[in-house]
Structure 1
Amino acid sequence: MLDLTKVAMQMGQVGQVIRQGAIASQQKQAHALDIFAAMAGQLDHYRHLLATWREHLAFAVAEPSEPLTTVHTVSPASLPYGVIAADGSQIAPSHHEIAYCYLINIGRVAITYGSQRRPQLNSLPQLVYDPAELGRSRSWGITTEDWLRYRRTQAEMLALAELATDPETPTLALVDGSLIFWYWSTLAPAARDILLAPILEAWQQLRERRIPLVGYISASRSHETLNFLRLGVCPYPEPNCAEHCTNQRERLPCQTFDPLRDTLLWHARLAPQQYSPLWRSYSPILEHYGDHAIYCCYLHAGSEVVRLEVPQWVAKETDLLAQAISLTASQIQKGHGYPVALAEAHNLAVVRSSDRQRFFALLERELIKAGQWHVAPSPKEQRKRQSIV
């Protein structure tokens, strides 16, 4: 049991640290804006530096596709329009349960506004109880928990393609989270291909149907665009981190903005219903995306600045990008700060404690029918479910 009285005694220290951090952030934000303004007039120079030395940088940095000072205004959404969305949840495997298996539950939503068409709201569970599937990830050095998370991401993307039909109205495909699968670049090639190839095929189906895809990232922790400013404060003629900074024992000389995030920079640059210039990401995993390289921008949605990611085929087509941003902003407005379709997909996907109990009750019944009479959780799990009071 949590002793809130003892916690309250520590809250004063937390508040003091937060106040000090806020003052430091304001100072760093002002410094970042000064560097931003200085670099805006020499953008071609810094783009050339980035292109020349990208492989030698010790940090991930995105490249601006438009002038830094570009500010776009969101166009109002026109009715009718449609939105499809998917989100996932799971029951993770546990050696303490009656069987070692996992379940992925995908919430799927398709809504058309300004039409008499009924919304489609459902969930699709996927049970995995195959020792070969469960053991395959470990042969690649991937934990079962990580493999489950990767499979869930894949299932969310495939659900979008299943929902997509040849639309009669402008339609948006929304997914909660990044389209850049940052950690997949370190996976074994066989594992990466199993995960990524079906996703890219699903994205291609959206492309052929002209349904723009948007990865919606609330409370983004990214530094990709802010890291571009580090080129402007590098004290060396060439930003060659491998040569100049490998022996730095403390902070690198260009880390003058840490721990600021992109969202703080763009919050100072944008007004509500405005969005930033497009930036191209160069995460290593994107080398395997083919024609689906990822671009991002930041949208001031009123309640927060959100990061939006789109594939290259959306970013390069002005009308399709405008449609994506406009419909995303409309969804945020309808959801009072968070897209309606994503909220509904989450609610359909979430696996509650009661759902988990019923799931294992069903599984226990099937195991008994299969002839396994001694079916029970481990003594540890049974004891944790009981109280001594």
Structure 2
Amino acid sequence: MLDLAKLASQIPGISQHFQREMTASRQRLERAQVLIRQTHAKQQDLIELHEQWRDRLIFSTATPVEPLDTRVPITPAPYSHSVFATDGSQISPSHHEIAYCYLINIGRVMLHYGQNLHPLLDSVPEVYYKSEDIYVAKQWGIRVEEWMGYRRTVLESEMLAEMACGWVNPPGPHREPNLALVDGSLVYWFLETLPHDARDRLLPPMQAAWSQLQAAKIPMIGYISASRSLEALNFFRLNACPHPTPNCIVNCSDLLDAQMPCQVVSPLRDVTLWAYLLEPGQRGPLWRSHARILNSYEECHRVYFCYVHVGTEIARVEMPAWVAEDSTLLDQALSLMLAQVYKGYGYPISLSEAHNYAVVKAADRVRFFALLEQEMLKAGLRNVGTSYKEARKRGSIA
């Protein structure tokens, strides 16, 4: 139980701290606005400088593919269109349960507007209980819980492509506009630390799913709310670098990132800056991410992004290259995405519904293991039950 009386004495210090942070943030924002104007004046030179020296940088930076002063109003969504979305949840394995297994549940949503068609809102569970499913990651030193999360990401992409392409294929000449939505980044940073054999179990099926969407001309975007990314602001650090060349390894290898002389606006985030530069319903310039893991992606699936003022916040919207480089698909994706945000009162309604159908509640977990226990008893197994620790926790008198 939380003791609110003891907690109350700490609250004033927290509020004072954040008040000081707000003042400092305004000062950093003023410096960032000056820096972006200076960077815009020599944007192409800095892009070429990045291309030449990016292997010597010790921070990840994106490069703009449009002028930094780009402000594009997003067109309203057409009356008739379709949106597809997936999200996932799981039941983690536990040695205290009646069986050591895990479950991944993928929520699927297909919404049709202006077409008098029934929506699809359901979930697809997958149970993993075989040794080759559970312990496959041990050979690479990956914990079961981590591997389960990676597998969930793969399933989200595969089921999204299966659902969307199954609906629109074969693509007709007069079909309604559509959009495939996923929650979160398309840059799978976690892959970077994995051994190549483990990565080969995950990335190819995800890329294959994206290729299915590309072939069907269904634009896909990843929607990131409350992004903490610095990739765009890091590009301005090239202009703020006081050294003749931005060779971080030689010039600043003995410094922490926060101490580097190019960090003139840290810890300002991309979304904080673009909140002052964009009007509601506008997007900023397109950027190309240069995260190291993207070297393992197919060229057509390299990730681009832009920041969009959706009215309630600045959202980071990511898309593969085949969407970013097709102006028709890009405009279609952004207009349908913004309509989803409006319908969801600040967050894409298809993603929130996919989450609601995916989430596994405590009662669902109990019912799952109860069903499993019944089936194990029917199969003639004996001594089926939870550990004493788990049983006492569930029956606590506290």
Q: TM-score, with normalisation over the residues of structure 2?
A: 0.95
Residue 390 (structure 2) pairs with residue 367 (structure 1)? no
CA shift, 1:100, in A, is 1.2
Q: Secondary structure at the match of 2:250?
A: helix
Aligned pair 1:101/2:96, yes or no?
Answer: no
Of 209, 213, 222, the match for 1:206: 213
2:293 aligned with 1:285, yes or no? Answer: yes
User: How much has 1:387 moved relative to structure 2?
Assistant: 2.5
Q: Unaligned 5+ residue runs, structure 2?
A: none
Gaps of 5+ in 1: none
Other-structure match for 1:22? 22
Counterparts in 2 of 1:245-284, with a 5 A limit? 245-248=252-255, 251-284=259-292
The Cα of 1:135 is off from its aligned counterpart by 0.9
Match of 2:147 in 1: 147
The whole-number CA distance in structure 2 between the counterparts of 1:386 and 1:121 is 35
Give the partner amino acid of 2:177.
Answer: P
Q: Deviations over 1:322-350 (max 9, x none)?
A: 00100000100111101111111111101
Once residues 184 and 40 of structure 1 are traced to their aligned partners in structure 2, the CA distance between those partners, rounded to angstroms, is 33
- Give me the whole-angstrom Cα distance separating, in 2, the residues matched to 1:280 and 1:170: 25
The residue number in structure 2 matching 1:51 is 51
Q: Distance in 2 between matches of 1:384 and 1:6?
A: 27
1:247 CA displacement: 1.2
Shift of 1:287: 1.0
Helix, strand or coil: the match of 2:264?
A: coil
CA-to-partner distance for each residue in 1:200-255, whole Å, 9 max, x for gaps?
A: 11111111111100100001111100111111111101111100111125621222
Cα drift, residue 90 of structure 1: 0.5
Runs of at least 4 residues off by over 4 Å:
none
Structure-1 separation of matches of 2:58 and 2:347: 34
Query: Residue in 1 aligned with 2:349?
Result: 340
Q: Secondary structure at the match of 1:85?
A: strand
Question: In the alignment, which residue of structure 1 is the partner of 2:244?
Answer: 237
Alpha-carbon distance between aligned partners in 1 of 2:335 and 2:247, rounded to the nearest angstrom: 40
- AA matched with 2:380: G
CA offset digits 1:37-61 (Å, max 9, x no partner): 1110111111111101101111110
Q: How has the CA–CA distance of structure 1 residues 372 and 6 changed in structure 2, closer, same or farther, with 3 Å as cutoff?
A: farther
Displacement of 1:8 in angstroms is: 2.4
The Cα shift of 1:121 comes to 1.0
Aligned: 1:301 with 2:310: yes
What TM-score do the two structures reach when normalised by structure 1? 0.98
Residue 85 of structure 1: aligned partner: 85
Question: Which residue number corresponds to residue 336 of structure 2?
Answer: 327
Q: Work out the CA distance in 1 between the residues paired with 2:372 and 2:269.
A: 45
CA distance in 2, matches of 1:254, 1:377: 56
Q: Which residue in the other structure is 2:178 paired with?
A: 171
Shift of 1:280: 0.3
- Give how far 1:5 is off: 2.4
Question: C-alpha distance in 2, partners of 1:102/1:354?
Answer: 16
In the alignment, which of 361, 366, 387 is matched to residue 357 of structure 1?
A: 366
